[in-house]
Homo-oligomer: A and B are copies of this chain.
């Protein structure tokens, strides 16, 4: 059986190698690739993807896994090997359910849909995208049909991004969140607005870059196993546990994109760099889910990077780098970077309103999958919900239903992971503050080693060994729960806005 396990590990190692190569091809495509190289890059990625797909669905692998299954079940269920076999079986079953012809069709439909979406958004013309989105919804229904019936058809979609998460769970979590989050926003709207005009002025680009680097170096981002480059849409890219790169963008007249974007990506990247060396070249050297990943990026961006203790340490340094902030005191700065202001665009939303953007999308996706909402009616539904949740009406569809790229890629089931990440980050944060009672003092001293050490030990090192709910339960003692997040918003924004 040891020999068969070695066989499996070799196959998984080769799959990890191809995955790492694909990651690098993608990184390059979004950073340095010359424009003329796009078509060849598509072919290279397509061929590597096809080879990986063939390896991941080969009958030989299936036979090997059948033989290893009882052995895996005989092991300590928390051991690396038990988990490695369990996830290999899960991945194999999922990969083999979807016919190759469907994967090809989907790639073709989404390639065209993605192009149509970009055109539709540029012209703010939903009708141009509508037939493509209808095809994608049709494909999505067929995709669901390849899997055994679940409690809810949307479960199958969620499972792609948040393994084993159920639609009913997410709905319940969001039900517990929405009324209180809406109430906070309404209360804030009745108070005088804080000033953030000082964030909108010229900031030297190189100095912005250097300040971001200084911050995440103190966080503990490992430059020996990573690097930072510029990209129009920042992302984190891991070709290996030992090569996790980040990207940032710099707005020359607005400090926030670089500042919080860099911290956000460093959170993703430190998670990737923190997976145990024992997991390298296995199927477990990944995040537990997109939600868990987002909990890490949001924690460093918001719970650390938008906190008062953090700025008690870093604000004098920021003022030194940017003397134009000399006349802005810490309290004003802190309130400015935490300004709550309902807005139309998700990616520009503040901490207090962000989740409502997500809930809107989740409701639409579920209604579409349930057949209760036709694609053609999306703009109207969108605008009505925006009014209900945020009191805003998009002036056009480009700033409404067409704003996100995800649906054109066929990524139904993705959005809720953003909000789940926010919630998880607070559950972890409460636990961390219990375990490290002087965390605020440490942040005031620019010390983050204990925080990163905690995250490494409790979250990062496990990679994908545990299901997301299982991991949250193990670490915090309860499943995903909106309570800590609501308490956090109430306290933080209560203080800032005097609620």
Residue numbers of A with Cβ under 8 A of B are 13-14, 17-18, 20-21, 24-25, 28, 32-37, 39-41, 43-44, 46-48, 50-51, 222-227, 229, 239-243, 245, 280-281
Contact = CB atoms under 8 A, between A and B. Distances in A.
A337 to B, nearest CB: 30
Given A25-B24, A46-B17, A48-B17, A40 B243 contact: yes
A42 B34 CA distance: 25
A28 B24 contact: yes
B36 A20 contact: no
Given A25-B24, A36-B224, A225-B36, A43 B281 contact: yes
Contact of A36 (B21, B32, B40, B243): B243
Contacts of A239: 37, 40-41, 44
Contacts of A46: 17
- Secondary structure of the A side of the interface? helix
B43 A17 contact: yes
A34 B280 contact: no
Contacts of A39: 240, 242
A153 to B, nearest CB: 36
Given A40-B239, A280-B40, A18 B47 contact: yes
Contacts of A17: 43-44, 46-48
Nearest to A55: B51
Q: How many copies does the complex hold?
A: 2
A20 to B, nearest CB: 5
B18 A240 contact: no
Contacts of A34: 223-227, 242-243, 245
Contacts of A24: 24-25, 28, 44
A58 to B, nearest CB: 13
A25 B32 contact: no
A39 to B, nearest CB: 7
A91 to B, nearest CB: 18
Greatest chain B CB density within 10 A among A37, A39, A242 is at A37
Contact of A37 (B13, B21, B243): B243
A308 B10 CA distance: 59
12 contacts: A14-B47, A18-B51, A21-B25, A32-B227, A32-B229, A36-B242, A37-B242, A39-B240, A40-B241, A40-B243, A41-B240, A48-B48
A206 to B, nearest CB: 14
Contacts of A14: 47, 50-51
A213 to B, nearest CB: 14
A48 B50 CA distance: 13
Contacts of A243: 33-34, 36-37, 40-41
B40 A240 contact: yes
Contacts of A44: 17-18, 20-21, 24, 239-240
Nearest to A226: B34
A258 to B, nearest CB: 20
B223 A37 contact: no
B37 A225 contact: yes
A229 B242 CA distance: 23
A228 to B, nearest CB: 10
A225 B33 CA distance: 9
Contacts of A35: 224
Q: Which 8 A-B pairs have the closest CB atoms?
A: A37-B243, A40-B240, A36-B225, A17-B47, A36-B242, A17-B44, A36-B224, A21-B44
